Amino acid sequence: MYIVTVIPIQKGFQKENLTYFSPTKIELGNIVVIPIRSKNVDAIVINIDNVRDLKSDIKKANFQLKKIISIKGTSPFSSNFFRACEIMKDYTVSNTGTIIKTLLPSTFLENLKELSKNRKDEIINKEQEVESENVKQEKLIFQALTPDRISWYRTLVREAFAKKQSVFICVPTRFDIEQLKIEFTKGISQYVFSFHGDLSKKTLINTYNSCLNEAHPILIIGTGKFLSIPRSDIKTIIIENENSDAYKQFNRPYIDIRTFAEILSSINKTKLIFGDTLLRPDTLHRHDEGELGEVASPLFRLPQAERQIIVDMKEQLDSNGAKKFTVLSDTTQNMINYALTNNESVVLFTIRKGLAGVTVCHDCGNTLLCPTCSTPVVLYGSKQRNATKIVNSRIFMCNKCGRKETTEVRCVECQSWNLTPLGIGTDRVYEETRKLYPNAKIIQIDKETVSSDKEAREAMIEFYKNPGSILIGTEMIFSYINKEVIHSAIISLDGLLSIPSFNITQKILHIIEKLHEITKRNLIIQTRIPENPILEHILAGNVLPLYREDLKERKQFGYPPFKRLIKITFTGSASETEKARAFIDKLLGEYEPQIFSAFVGKIKGQYITNTVIKINPSSWPILTTENRKINEHLLECLRHLSPAFSINVDPEDLL
């Protein structure tokens, strides 16, 4: 008889491990099936003791051990992958089983017996692991135009193959995989393996087995979930399109694949390369500080500026020659008319549902800007009240520098009081498009209209299946587009500028670059502020001044990379929210928590409250070496929070 300690591979389970008994000895690292409440759950074995050695402990226990139901087999990942999950659980304030469940394709666990065992089985026993302390890990950045990066990657792969080493190119979306496969399969197609979540069960299992059984070094192109593939000869990991938001998961435990890849590569002592046309400011700052090396000096140029058509929305005229307010400019309407006539696809990009982020003068069309930083100000009012019933008067606030003004302001151009808030979210764009093109196939993809990954994929299939369709969506579409579209337009650049996010400059740059990448012809950018510095630098093709200014502002306001952000969100009734606020303030008071209502403060009768903690990054580092430790006191405090609080380390925004 044996006492077995296991980690349940299950989301939402709070305990790190559980104990069961087994009549037979089980190997460490094996996957077993255990009973939890009324469910049977997969778990990984991390410790086993003979019952004879624990007789006294068993007699003292005030509970009865349950029996392990069955043994499924050897884990489909390496001990180093498991160790990286253990480390990631502290960084995200989660547990190891949740991390494994999130990062391991479910098909692998569900079909364990069909997976190849043609490898040296590894057991999870950190005492037996021997690291090569003399091997220094190489971490590099490569900021260059896409053709230049691809050309260098080809050379790197050839050199790796000559050294009998494999390479993993990690990408954020399936579209990226399809593009890279075209570039890399020539001459080495039999050694190139691609993995993504849309593969059928049969294809995924066959590809996995072929990947493990191939004696020759290989190139894997896959999304982050397939970093678990146990090829011990992978000596280089490339994080391609590093700036993509798709690397950061939208749901608990809010894992950032880039962070996990860095932890895993550190354990494996593999070379790590961050590549993109424009890397994240955080990554570039680490390079500036000497933490990351470089493949070549980073370039700060944007390609294809000549394919951008800028439309000044203040100059739109009605049939009488008077200025008019419209969602779709005449230029955009002409583009859509042409596309529909020729059965060509159109993407209309906009911000999230219902955000009214721009206020304009109804008389002269001027946009109300912050006098401090020239960013469009946002009208906040009674809808943003919090659960404590404190109602502030309506104010204009700049989401960039935080400046607030009363609504008793005039247009700086014509001194008019006639100011109008405009919201150009996905719903409004859909309504306008439907009115103008009642016979067109219109598909909308955002978090509100699409509730699951399956629905989003089905919507994209419908879009591609019907030539001449119009796709209206937010950044969410970048995770599902896998083919080029013919035409695209950003409906309101100003709406993007007004989003309350410290990442907004890099977000706009990424959106424009990504739309260029997926668009075959021109990209229309609608704006009421064509003189905005961001747009001017984008058109000029040189964004180095933007990067420098962005870092300066981040340091001034205490944003990454100068501070590590931890966002805690609570949703509940008015009374629950008041108690939660008091509890957070008491628990985390020494960390000066900023507690505030979310941008959309109430949904379906439930109040949403955010708490943000800003700490020194050295107190919460990416745990890539043993001598870098997380603030244990803060970690313990965060673990005291109930599941009603969601914890997001390194949030994309503070909404």
Cα–Cα dist 160/143, whole Å: 21
- 3-state SS, 377-423, equals CEEECHHHCCCCCCCCCCEEECCCCCCEEECCCCCCCCCCCCEEEEC
- Condensed to tens digits (0 to 9), the pLDDT of residues 433-477 reads 999 999 999 999 988 788 787 899 899 999 999 999 999 998 889
Q: What percent of the chain has pLDDT over 90?
A: 59
Out of 294, 324, 346, pick the residue that ends a domain.
294
Pairing of strands 70-74, 30-36: antiparallel
Banded pLDDT at 192 (limits 50, 70, 90) = very high
pLDDT at residue 596, rounded to an integer: 86
User: What is the token pair recorded at 597?
Assistant: 């209502």
pLDDT at residue 538, rounded to an integer: 81
Residue at 188 is within a domain:
yes
Residue at 400 is within a domain:
no
Mean pLDDT of 121-144: 64
Are 78 and 142 members of one domain? Answer: no
Could you tell me which residue, 598 or 649, shows the higher pLDDT? 649
User: What is the token pair recorded at 327?
Assistant: 């969602």
pLDDT at residue 505, rounded to an integer: 86
Residues 6+ apart with CB under 8 A from 489: 332, 335, 346, 347, 348, 349, 523, 524, 525, 526
Are 343 and 287 members of one domain? Answer: no
- The amino acid that residue 4 corresponds to is V
CB 470 within 8 A of CB 433: yes
Are 571 and 602 members of one domain? Answer: yes
Are 239 and 333 members of one domain? Answer: no
Q: How many CB atoms within 10 Å of residue 435? A: 10
Banded pLDDT at 301 (limits 50, 70, 90) = confident
The DSSP letter of residue 325 is -
Domain containing 35 equals 2-110
Residue at 123 is within a domain:
no
CB 168 within 8 A of CB 236: yes
Residues 6+ apart with CB under 8 A from 652: 245, 248, 501, 503
CB 637 within 8 A of CB 230: no
Residue at 118 is within a domain:
no
Q: Any idea which residue has 């044996």 for tokens?
A: 2
Q: Which DSSP string corresponds to 201-249?
A: HHHHHHHHHHHHH--S--EEEE-GGGGG---TTEEEEEEETTT-GGGB-
Q: What is the maximum alpha-carbon separation in the chain?
A: 94
Banded pLDDT at 121 (limits 50, 70, 90) = very low
* pLDDT exceeds 50 at position 298: yes
- 3-state SS, 112-154, equals HHHCCCCCCCCCCCHHHCCCCCCCCCCEEEEECCHHHHHHHHH
Out of 52, 84, 110, pick the residue that ends a domain.
110
* pLDDT exceeds 60 at position 133: no
Could you tell me which residue, 137 or 367, shows the higher pLDDT? 137
Out of 110, 136, 154, pick the residue that ends a domain.
110
- Global pTM reads 0.85
Residue at 391 is within a domain:
no
Locate all alpha helices (DSSP H) within 215-343, ordered by sequence: 257-268, 281-288, 330-341
The DSSP letter of residue 111 is T
Instruction: Tell me the pLDDT of the chain averaged across its residues.
Output: 87
Are 200 and 311 members of one domain? Answer: no
- The amino acid that residue 233 corresponds to is D
Q: Any idea which residue has 């059965």 for tokens?
A: 343
CB 566 within 8 A of CB 612: yes
User: What is the token pair recorded at 332?
Assistant: 């955009």
Are 435 and 321 members of one domain? Answer: yes
Are 533 and 594 members of one domain? Answer: no
pLDDT at residue 124, rounded to an integer: 39
CATH number at residue 284: 3.40.50.300
Pairing of strands 395-397, 308-312: unpaired
What is the separation, in whole angstroms, between the first and last Cα of the chain?
A: 53
Are 495 and 430 members of one domain? Answer: yes
Cα dist from 601 to 358, 386, 499, 577, 624, whole Å: 19, 6, 15, 11, 37
Mean pLDDT of 156-163: 97
Residues facing 334 on adjacent strands: none
Left (φ > 0), alpha (ψ -120 to 50) or beta: where does 46 sit?
alpha
CB 474 within 8 A of CB 445: yes
Domain total of the chain: 4
pLDDT at residue 50, rounded to an integer: 87
Q: How many CB atoms within 10 Å of residue 53? A: 10
Are 570 and 617 members of one domain? Answer: yes
- Condensed to tens digits (0 to 9), the pLDDT of residues 384-435 reads 444 444 444 566 777 666 677 776 778 887 887 777 666 677 888 999 999 9
Are 54 and 29 members of one domain? Answer: yes
Could you tell me which residue, 370 or 525, shows the higher pLDDT? 525
Cα–Cα dist 508/520, whole Å: 20
Q: 287-311 burial, b if ≥16 CB within 10 A, otherwise e?
A: beeeebeebeebbbebeeeeebeeb
* pLDDT exceeds 50 at position 120: no
Helices (H) and strands (E) in the chain, counts: 18, 27
